[in-house]
Structure 1
Amino acid sequence: MRAVRFASFGEPADVLTVENIPAPQPGPGQVLVRVQVRPINPSDLFVIRGLYGALPRLPAVPGFEGAGVIVGVGEGVTDRTIGQLVIPMGASGLWQEYVVVPAARAIPVPEPIGDRQAATAFVNPATAWLMLTETLRVEPGEWVLQNAASSVVGRHVIQLGQRLNFRTINVVRRREVIDELRAMGADEVICEQDENVVARVHALTGGKGVRYALDSVGGASGARLAASLGAGGTMLVYGAIAGESLTIHPGMLLFRSATIRGWWLTHWFQSATPSQVQSLFDTLFRLIGDGTLSTPIVAEYDLADVREAVREAERKTRPGKVLLVG
């Protein structure tokens, strides 16, 4: 089978190769999945560069997310069937043609969803949903402030704001995306290069600041979000796109009793029970199925063209996901 691999950490377009390796076979309680679609996420690229929170032994196959069809079942498997579209959870790299996972970790996908939206149903929708509803418990009518608002997670936050009746203040780097985000339902959009973010947020909130903020950038952008928190506010840091330190004035924490905390999807899944995982996917599939959540797809590349695909995925103006297919 074909597999994308890397034997050393480095720039993805430099270290990734496509190799032919033996296909795995399912053992008792396992299923063999023919992976069909795999999105390229920032977390995948951080792993390849050796900059992620958990790194594999090398050589390794990257890829946290994807969807495919069950083509083989091991002894004792009775609740999964050949031909079933599933999301293989916990596989050791999905940028290859076949993976083996325990049957319980092959999440069945409802037929109307399709393999493209199924392949992107895990990392970004789950991140947005869990941060907003389980960790922050955002209340209707409240403001949620976020940077990187034109990212896929950012768009999901906007979409969920429409569904759950909270308001969003969306910080972006490029003014060209302002009208698009407003058309999606963004309540307010601030371009960092044109406006003072902190002043605008305080004007929008009557000087109170916001109760909730989501930082996926770090650096100066994240610091501006932190400075926009009101009394008792909380900011979740779930990304570090800028690759820069987040500097926060201690008075903000001291006098406002604000909270800054990290949030990582991996930690949630490590502690979640199988029933919690299934409940999460039931919710996400429902939101995708009724159109509340939708991941834009901008390009598809065959596995053989992975180097070109990762270059496309890192274009700053890219408005959606790049997929690896085949």
Structure 2
Amino acid sequence: MESNVVRYYRFGEPGEVLRIEKKPPLEPGPGEISVKMRARPINPSDVIPIRGAYSHRITLPAVPGYEGVGVVEAVGPGVPKQMLGKRVLPLQGDGTWQDYVTAPAKFAVPVPEDIDDDTACQLYINPVTAWLICRMALRLTHGDVLVVNAAGSAIGRIFAQMSPIFGYRMIALTRSDRHTSELRRLGAACVFNTAEDSVRERILEATAGQGATAAIDSIGGPEGEKLVRCVKTDGTVLSIGLLSGIPAVWHEAVRGTQVRVLPFYLRQWVRNSSQEEWEAAFEQVLRLVQENKLAMTQIGARFELTDVKRAIHAAESGIRGKVLLLS
């Protein structure tokens, strides 16, 4: 039996470098499982590496995709047979843009029956990142102010929903007004349009001249660097993405300030944390979803895995909702 695999051998535009290949599914080794994938979302963090923004961290050839949901079809030596047929999120495996993913069994997250595939396939990258940042990296609480750029993104909407959970005030930065009403409904205290507003002045005004406690940068480049002037003297900027494809020159941006700029890498955190720690993070996220306190992005379009190039084009053309790749 052969399965479909999306792979790239060089960096570049997805339409030019992605290939659809056939290969037989790998037999899981000791402590591993083989997961037949059902659905995966297309996130910016899946596509940006294809273009080479993180070339120093990627070994070619590579299979894209960091998250998705599927069913355990085979288990390797040392893995309980009870895992067969379970619906899971295969963390720390090879890329999810293929029909079968081989992953360590200890990193497989069981999906409760009351959570559908549309939601389940989005439960890792954005919600767990946001939860860990709020709870552990920044320890946000009542009285804190968090600035988030690219706030109309999936993770921006999650930070908005988490603001009443943790008690912080969120200032959302967007490039247009199309997301304003939704972000306010989800929990953002303020929404500023960076195309029209003098953002630093508006943030200082909203914080009585103090600046924000912290900021989240998903854009990089000059837009990310601007956040340094929007936080308190001893504030923190977390870099979590590179939507612009341009790295920020942080050492210049923080010159003359006491602001800390730190990267946050989810996969690295999962790899370095104890199993109890990352399981606890997932339990919290799953509980919030089941209690209807946290909702994932609605689905805007669905494509077969083999139609990945058209799917990426749809995801980057401004379509409302998340684009899924299905097997």
- Aligned position for 1:134: 136
Post-superposition Cα deviations, 1:55-97, rounded to whole Å, max 9, x if no partner, equal 1231x32111111011222333227422210011111111111
- The answer to whether the Cα contact below 8 Å between 1:295 and 1:320 also exists between their aligned partners in 2 is no
- The answer to whether the Cα contact below 8 Å between 1:90 and 1:105 also exists between their aligned partners in 2 is yes
Describe the SS at the equivalent of 1:112: coil
Relative distance call for 1:183 and 1:135 in structure 2 (3 A) is: same
Counting matched residue pairs gives: 323
- The answer to whether the Cα contact below 8 Å between 2:303 and 2:324 also exists between their aligned partners in 1 is yes
AA matched with 1:213: A
Structure-2 separation of matches of 1:244 and 1:231:
25
Show structure 1 runs of 5+ residues with no match: none
- Aligned position for 2:68: 66
The structure 2 residue matched to 1:34, chosen from 33, 36, 39, is 36
1:257-296 counterparts in 2 under 5 A? 257-296=258-297
Post-superposition Cα deviations, 1:120-166, rounded to whole Å, max 9, x if no partner, equal 11111111111111011112132111100011111110000022221
- The answer to whether the Cα contact below 8 Å between 1:213 and 1:236 also exists between their aligned partners in 2 is yes
AA matched with 1:36: R
The structure 2 residue matched to 1:210, chosen from 204, 212, 215, is 212
Structure-2 separation of matches of 1:270 and 1:29:
16
Deviation at 1:19, TM superposition (A): 1.9
- Aligned position for 1:21: 23
The structure 2 residue matched to 1:242, chosen from 233, 239, 244, is 244
Q: Single out whichever of 127-136 and 262-271 deviates more from structure 2.
A: 262-271
RMSD: 1.9
Post-superposition Cα deviations, 1:12-37, rounded to whole Å, max 9, x if no partner, equal 11221222211112233322211111
Structure-2 separation of matches of 1:222 and 1:62:
25
Show structure 2 runs of 5+ residues with no match: none
Deviation at 1:195, TM superposition (A): 0.7
- Aligned position for 2:149: 147
Deviation at 1:50, TM superposition (A): 2.3
1:7-18 counterparts in 2 under 5 A? 7-18=9-20
- The answer to whether the Cα contact below 8 Å between 1:32 and 1:98 also exists between their aligned partners in 2 is yes
Structure-2 separation of matches of 1:103 and 1:80:
12
Deviation at 1:251, TM superposition (A): 9.1
The structure 2 residue matched to 1:191, chosen from 171, 190, 193, is 193
Structure-2 separation of matches of 1:132 and 1:43:
20
Describe the SS at the equivalent of 2:173: strand
- Aligned position for 2:183: 181
Structure-1 separation of matches of 2:57 and 2:66:
12
Describe the SS at the equivalent of 1:310: helix
Relative distance call for 1:114 and 1:251 in structure 2 (3 A) is: closer
- The answer to whether the Cα contact below 8 Å between 2:33 and 2:103 also exists between their aligned partners in 1 is yes
Deviation at 1:310, TM superposition (A): 0.8
- The answer to whether the Cα contact below 8 Å between 2:8 and 2:60 also exists between their aligned partners in 1 is no
The percentage of counterpart residues that share the same residue type is: 37
- Aligned position for 2:311: 309
Relative distance call for 1:262 and 1:305 in structure 2 (3 A) is: same
TM-score (norm 2): 0.93
Deviation at 1:222, TM superposition (A): 1.7
- Aligned position for 1:165: 167
Structure-2 separation of matches of 1:238 and 1:222:
10
Structure-1 separation of matches of 2:275 and 2:192:
40
Structure-2 separation of matches of 1:139 and 1:265:
21
